[in-house]
Amino acid sequence: MTGLRADQPATWQNLPAGDQLIKMVRPDHPRLYIDAAGFDTLKKRVADEPVMARMAEQLIARAEDLLDDAPVTYRIPDGKRLLAVSRRVVGRVFDLAMAYRLTGEARYRDRLFVEMKTVAEFKDWNPSHYLDTAEMTHGVAIAYDWLYNDWTDEQRAVIREAIIRHGLTPGLKCYRGEERYGWWVRSQHNWNQVCNSGMTFGALALADEKPEMAGEILHDAIVSTPLAMKHFAPDGGWGEGVSYWHYAVRYNVGMIAALDTAMGTDFGLADIEGFDHAGWFPIYMTGTVGTFNFADAGMGRVVNAPSLFWFANRFNQPLFASYQQLHQTAQARDMIWYPPDGASKDLDHMPRDKHFRGIDFVSMRSGWDHDSVCVGFKGGSNAVNHSHLDLGSFILDAHGERWINDLGADNYNLPSYFGRGRWNYYRLRAEGHNTLVIAPDNKADQNPKATAPITRFKSGDDHALAIVDLTPAYAPRVKQAKRGLMLMNQRRSVLVQDEVECEKPTQVLWFMHTPAKVALDEARRIATLNQHDKQIRVKLLEPAGATFEVRDAVPLATSPNPQGQKTNHERKLTVQLDNISTARIIVLIETAEPAGDAPKLKPLADW
């Protein structure tokens, strides 16, 4: 589309052509994330507000440490990714550029140019793994824009030509479909947001100097990004897991913020369904010990996301800012987006339970303090990017420890890790998670295309529960399979109940991975888990006659076992039922001494 009515705002759905878009970019620098008036306000806030002063002090100290560090070198240690180098450059740009803008001290500017000249002289920014190019373009564009009026003509030329040669030129080939490495333009996961964002920063930085190239890239990036953003609907969950939420959102928010500051509009991207709720996801995906690291998501202590400050401001949700304030590490974007009225809301009164309906993940907890009981419970789809065969799996924190854990990703460079051999690796299979394995063999032990819906969720004063229909995950081996989790006994115990009806008599295995030491009672129906002078108990309530055993976290004898997999130091609490057609497996996990009578057991249909 090339034109709009005067009263019709441009959105990603009715976007003007590139030559019209480029006319909307403000002519002055800086214009990415922040403008000159914004930097003036920032300096005043540093002078007036203790929190901002502390952040500035920490950031400048990091910049000072960088002065004597050697610039990065072109290094692809795994033969595929320059990504670590790109990310190091981005971090250095933000620290050095912000330190210069706050202090005016030339040594930060001069050290930054050493970095820029170095990466400008790289042979490329590794477009074959386009995340590397996108992140590097983002960082170099920030350096160009924030210090635009302080660079010499020669310095600007060095940085500008690097963005064109190593960033925008291969980017244009991606949007035009001229390179195989441009597959991400049509993708619906984190690559989309990161790569489109990086190209947007490069285009906005050079909009007045390379208008034709920049306009075409801006148009195509804005049109492409909703392909991924639609997956935030309806309530902000992200199927790739919490660490990939952080990665995708960091660049998604960055792109929106840069469009706002450079063009005065984000073309409706922030209004895409679910995005206004996305700030809840890292909060509820974090227990007392760390994040609920389903899929390939890494386990971190917390998600430190400056984007939460942006969400707080944009959507008037101060709790997002209060959460980030607890974890911020004085990044440049923390300072830019720190709310004008601070971040002091009480987090203890947030709802304790949350069902992310779009991805069918449930988080339940007894409270928000460090000793709370926290459970993460996984339904959803096995077909999402970075997913594992982990439908029905769960994670448990209590007493400031992680008792039931997810082993996490394996080495991305393993043969066919993202290909046809993905389900050969233990950590990615159902047997490597805290769920069921039914009729085990050497094939995928859940249906890789299955979606398991949460069919019931309830949050009460003294309990919470969720039920997932696992039938699609185990078809055609089963007629029906369901799992329920209930946080009960004043939210101090967790009841795990499985109901399985098999197509024919077969073996059913119940697995639970733990980093704790495990001791079984004489009857092998009670397991006591110990770590760091703390303990919980796991009781096998049904079926009668079944027992626990403790195994190593290794593949079954019937499973594939490729070389090169990570060693797992966890133990695996196991219930094995042989030659059964129907089964009800009920396990009670007690994090404290039981109070009152034993739980009354009833079918999931009556929960």
Whether 577 shows a pLDDT value over 90: the answer reads yes
Phi-psi region of 51 (alpha: psi -120 to 50; beta: other; left: phi over 0): alpha
Residue 420: count of CB within 10 angstroms of its CB: 7
Whether 343 shows a pLDDT value over 90: the answer reads no
Upper half-sphere CA count for residue 119 (Cβ side, 13 Å): 36
Provide, rounded to the nearest whole percent, the portion of the chain with pLDDT above 70. 98
How far, rounded to the nearest angstrom, does the alpha carbon of residue 527 sit from its chain's CA centroid?
Answer: 33
pLDDT score of 127: 98
Number of DSSP helices (H) and strands (E) in the chain, helices first: 17, 17
273: phi then psi, degrees, rounded to nearest 5? -50, 135
pLDDT score of 15: 96
Complete DSSP assignment for 83-136 = HHHHHHHHHHHHHHHHHHHHH--HHHHHHHHHHHHHHHTSS---TTSHHHHHHH
Helix or strand run (H / E) with residue 454: strand 454-459
Confidence band of 594 (pLDDT split at 50, 70, 90): confident
pLDDT score of 7: 55
Distance CA 507, CA 575 (A): 11
Q: For each of the domains in the chain, give its residue range(s) and CATH number, in order of start.
A: 18-337 (1.50.10.100), 354-602 (2.70.98.70)
Residue matched to tokens 């619906």: 188
Upper half-sphere CA count for residue 204 (Cβ side, 13 Å): 39
Distance CA 154, CA 95 (A): 23
pLDDT tens per residue, range 193-206:
999 999 999 999 99
Distance CA 190, CA 197 (A): 11
CB 127 within 8 A of CB 150: no
Q: What is the mean pLDDT of the chain?
A: 96
Residue 578: count of CB within 10 angstroms of its CB: 9
501: phi then psi, degrees, rounded to nearest 5? -125, 110
| Mean pLDDT value of segment 301-305 | 85
Distance CA 510, CA 572 (A): 10
Distance CA 20, CA 222 (A): 14
Distance CA 266, CA 272 (A): 11
Distance CA 442, CA 424 (A): 8
Contacts of 473 (CB under 8 A, 6+ apart): 382, 389, 391, 392, 430, 446, 447, 450, 452, 481
**Cis peptide, bond prior to residue 9, ω within 30 of zero:** no
Confidence band of 3 (pLDDT split at 50, 70, 90): very low
List, in sequence order, every residue forming a beta bridge with 365; answer none if it has no partner: 374
Confidence band of 8 (pLDDT split at 50, 70, 90): low
Helix or strand run (H / E) with residue 551: strand 548-552
Q: What is the dihedral of CA 250, 224, 265, 8, to 10 degrees?
A: -160
pTM beyond 0.75: the answer is yes
List, in sequence order, every residue forming a beta bridge with 497; answer none if it has no partner: 484, 586
pLDDT score of 158: 98
pLDDT tens per residue, range 345-375:
788 889 999 999 999 999 999 999 999 999 9
pLDDT score of 1: 38
Strands 451-452 and 454-459, by their bridges, are unpaired
CB 155 within 8 A of CB 115: no
Q: If DSSP codes are grouped into helix, strand and coil, which group holds residue 61?
A: helix
| Mean pLDDT value of segment 231-235 | 98
CB 321 within 8 A of CB 345: yes
Contacts of 41 (CB under 8 A, 6+ apart): none
pLDDT score of 6: 47
pLDDT score of 596: 63
Residue matched to tokens 């019931």: 456
| Mean pLDDT value of segment 48-69 | 97
pLDDT tens per residue, range 399-446:
999 999 999 999 999 999 999 999 999 999 999 999 999 999 999 999
How far, rounded to the nearest angstrom, does the alpha carbon of residue 165 sit from its chain's CA centroid?
Answer: 31
Provide, rounded to the nearest whole percent, the portion of the chain with pLDDT above 90. 94
Confidence band of 2 (pLDDT split at 50, 70, 90): very low
Complete DSSP assignment for 418-442 = TSTTGGGSGGGSGGGSSSEEES--S
Q: Residue 127: which of 182, 87, 164 has the closest Cα? A: 182
Higher-scoring residue by pLDDT: 74, 5: 74
Distance CA 96, CA 102 (A): 10
Confidence band of 299 (pLDDT split at 50, 70, 90): confident
